[in-house]
C-alpha cells in the first residue's frame, strides 16, 4: 500500500528538524493514546504493552489524572522553587506513610536521571566518600553521575566518566558462567567474586551501591531469593549506603507497592520516577532523617527549575491514591501471573524463546538464535517486535551486547484479562509468521 503524502511530509520534516539522539524513530505516527490503546493516523488501534516509555502505569489519559492536571494548570502550576505548596506536602506525607520506616523525607524532581543523579550526590555528601558501585547491566540515566553508573548503554565517546565508578556482575541466571556442580546458577559465588573485585579496585572511598530490584533495561533480571539481603550485609560491612532505583518497578507494577519490599530490605535512599507520574515528568528522592541531617550539615544543594512543582506533585499524589484505593498491587500480581503463564506456553511452542523471567506486570522473554548454544537472537527478536506492531501490539525489545533480544512486556496495570490474552495471541502470531518466513519453525 502506498504511503500517504502527508506521512511522507511528516517524516521529511522530522528528519530535517529533529536532532538524532541515538533513538530510532518509529515508523508509526501515534495521534491518540487512551487507556491501554494507541491510535495511529488511520485510527488503527495498537495495544500498548510498554506503558508508553514504561511510565503510564494507570494507562493513558486516566480520567482522574486528567482532572487533576486540568485543575492545577488552571490554578496552581509552577512557582519559585522555595514556595512549598499543599500538593507537595500532601505527596511527601503520603509517601512517608506508604514507605517503610525510616524513609520519610522526600523531594520531587522531573526525571529518573535527575532522581538518581541527586541520590548519588546525596550519598557522597553523607558518607564523605566518592566511589559508586553499580551492576554491569545497570541503567540509571544518562546525566553525568547517573550515566557514569550506567553500564548497559551510552558509555562510548562521551569523554571521562565520574571518578570512582566500579562495575559489579549483574545476576543473570540464564547466562552467568557461575554454576554449581548440578548446573544451577551459583549466585553466591558470583556475588563474592564481585565484591572481591570491588575491594581490589577501591581506593578506600566506597560511598554507595546503586541498583534496581529488577534490572529492566538490563534485560529484566530479577535478583535471586536471598540476594538483596546478602548485598545489604556486604554494603553495611563497608560503610556504604544503598540507593534503590525503582523508576520502572515502583508503585505497584511488580505486585508490591515497591519491589524491594519482597526481600524485606529497606534502602537508605529510594529514587522513583516514571510510574509515579503516570506519564508526566515527576520523580522523587526519599531518604531517612539521619541522611537528610548529614547532607544538610555537609552543605548539600539541589536546586532546579521544577523542584517541588505543585502540578506534577498533585498528579503523583493522585496516582498513589488510586493505586492504594483500587488494589492495584493485587491486580498487577493477578494479570502478571496470567501474562507469565501465557509466555511460558509460547516458550513451549517456540524454540527461540530461551528464557521467561520477571515479576508482576514486568515480564521479559529472551530470544535466542540457536537452541543448543543459546546464541543471542537480537535480529530475530526485532523481526518479531516489528511484526507484532504491524498486527497491533506495541512491545519493546532491548538489544544489548552479551544477551539475546529481550522483550520487556509492561502493560498498564489497569490492563484487563481479555487484553492480556489479546496481546499473547498477537505475539503468538508474530512468532509463527517470522519463523515460517525464515524457514525456522521447528
Q: Provide the β-strand partners of residue 34.
A: 37
Q: Is the dihedral of CA 384, 171, 222, 279 positive or negative?
A: negative
How many whole angstroms separate alpha carbon 215 and alpha carbon 209?
Answer: 14
How many whole angstroms separate alpha carbon 405 and alpha carbon 441?
Answer: 18
Known catalytic membership, residue 139: yes
**Sheet of 393-394: strands edge to edge?**
30-34, 37-40, 45-48, 393-394
Task: Find, among 267, 249, 286, 247, the residue nearest to 108 by Cα.
Answer: 286
User: Could you tell me how far CA 176 lies from the centroid of its own chain?
Assistant: 22
Helix (H, G, I), strand (E, B) or coil at 393: strand
Q: What are phi and psi of 81, to 5 degrees?
A: -60, -25
Q: Are 146 and 212 in contact (CB under 8 A)?
A: no
283 Cβ partners below 8 Å, 6+ apart?
108, 109, 110, 111, 112, 114, 115, 247, 271, 272, 273, 276, 277
The total of other beta-carbon atoms located within 10 Å of residue 303's CB is: 7
How many whole angstroms separate alpha carbon 105 and alpha carbon 92?
Answer: 7
Measured between alpha carbons, how far is residue 30 from residues 33, 38, 43, 382, 420 in Å?
A: 8, 7, 9, 20, 21
Task: Find, among 358, 380, 379, 55, the residue nearest to 218 by Cα.
Answer: 358
Q: Provide the β-strand partners of residue 287.
A: 105, 269
How many whole angstroms separate alpha carbon 78 and alpha carbon 241?
Answer: 33
- Options 125, 126, 139, 172, the catalytic residue: 139
Q: Is the dihedral of CA 247, 131, 100, 92 positive or negative?
A: negative
Question: Active-site residue numbers?
Answer: 139
Amino acid at each position: 500500500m502506498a504511503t500517504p503524502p502527508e506521512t511522507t511530509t511528516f517524516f521529511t520534516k522530522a528528519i530535517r528538524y529533529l536532532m538524532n539522539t541515538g533513538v530510532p524513530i518509529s515508523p508509526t505516527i501515534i495521534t491518540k493514546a487512551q487507556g491501554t490503546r494507541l491510535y495511529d493516523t488511520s485510527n488503527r488501534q495498537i495495544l500498548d504493552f510498554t506503558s508508553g516509555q514504561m511510565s503510564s502505569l494507570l494507562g493513558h489519559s486516566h480520567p482522574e489524572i486528567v482532572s487533576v492536571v486540568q485543575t492545577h494548570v488552571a490554578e496552581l502550576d509552577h512557582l519559585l522553587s522555595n514556595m512549598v505548596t499543599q500538593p507537595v506536602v500532601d505527596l511527601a506525607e503520603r509517601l512517608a506513610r506508604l514507605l517503610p520506616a525510616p524513609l520519610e523525607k522526600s523531594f520531587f524532581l522531573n526525571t529518573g536521571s535527575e532522581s538518581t543523579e541527586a541520590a548519588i550526590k546525596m550519598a557522597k555528601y553523607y558518607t564523605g566518600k566518592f566511589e559508586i558501585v553499580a551492576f554491569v547491566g545497570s541503567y540509571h540515566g544518562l546525566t553525568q553521575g547517573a550515566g557514569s553508573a550506567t553500564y548497559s548503554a551510552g558509555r562510548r565517546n562521551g569523554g571521562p566518566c565520574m571518578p570512582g565508578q566500579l562495575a559489579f556482575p549483574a545476576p543473570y541466571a540464564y547466562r552467568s558462567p557461575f554454576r554449581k556442580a548440578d548446573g544451577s546458577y551459583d549466585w553466591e559465588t558470583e556475588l563474592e567474586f564481585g565484591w572481591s573485585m570491588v575491594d581490589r579496585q577501591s581506593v578506600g572511598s566506597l560511598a554507595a551501591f546503586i541498583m534496581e530490584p529488577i534490572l529492566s533495561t538490563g534485560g529484566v533480571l530479577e535478583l535471586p531469593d536471598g540476594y538483596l539481603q546478602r548485598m545489604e550485609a556486604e554494603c553495611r560491612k563497608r560503610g556504604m549506603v544503598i540507593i534503590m532505583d525503582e523508576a520502572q518497578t515502583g508503585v505497584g507494577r511488580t505486585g508490591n507497592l515497591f519491589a524491594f519490599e519482597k526481600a524485606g530490605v529497606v534502602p537508605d535512599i529510594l529514587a522513583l520516577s516514571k510510574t509515579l507520574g503516570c506519564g508526566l515528568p515527576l520523580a522523587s528522592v526519599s531518604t531517612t532523617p539521619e541522611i537528610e541531617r548529614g547532607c544538610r550539615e555537609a552543605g548539600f544543594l539541589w536546586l532546579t527549575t521544577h523542584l517541588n512543582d505543585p502540578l506534577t506533585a498533585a498528579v503523583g499524589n493522585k496516582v498513589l491514591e488510586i493505586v492504594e484505593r483500587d488494589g492495584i498491587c493485587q491486580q498487577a500480581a493477578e494479570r502478571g501471573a496470567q501474562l507469565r503463564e501465557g509466555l511460558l506456553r509460547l516458550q513451549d511452542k517456540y524454540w527461540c524463546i530461551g528464557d521467561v523471567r520477571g515479576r508482576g506486570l514486568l515480564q521479559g522473554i529472551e530470544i535466542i538464535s540457536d537452541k543448543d548454544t543459546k546464541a543471542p537472537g537480537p535480529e530475530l527478536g526485532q523481526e518479531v517486535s516489528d511484526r507484532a506492531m504491524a498486527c497491533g501490539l506495541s512491545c519493546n525489545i532491548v538489544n544489548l551486547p552479551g544477551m539475546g533480544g529481550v522483550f520487556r512486556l509492561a502493560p498498564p496495570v489497569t490492563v484487563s484479562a481479555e487484553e492480556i490474552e489479546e496481546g499473547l495471541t498477537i505475539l503468538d502470531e508474530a512468532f509463527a509468521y517470522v519463523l515460517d518466513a525464515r524457514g525456522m519453525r521447528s
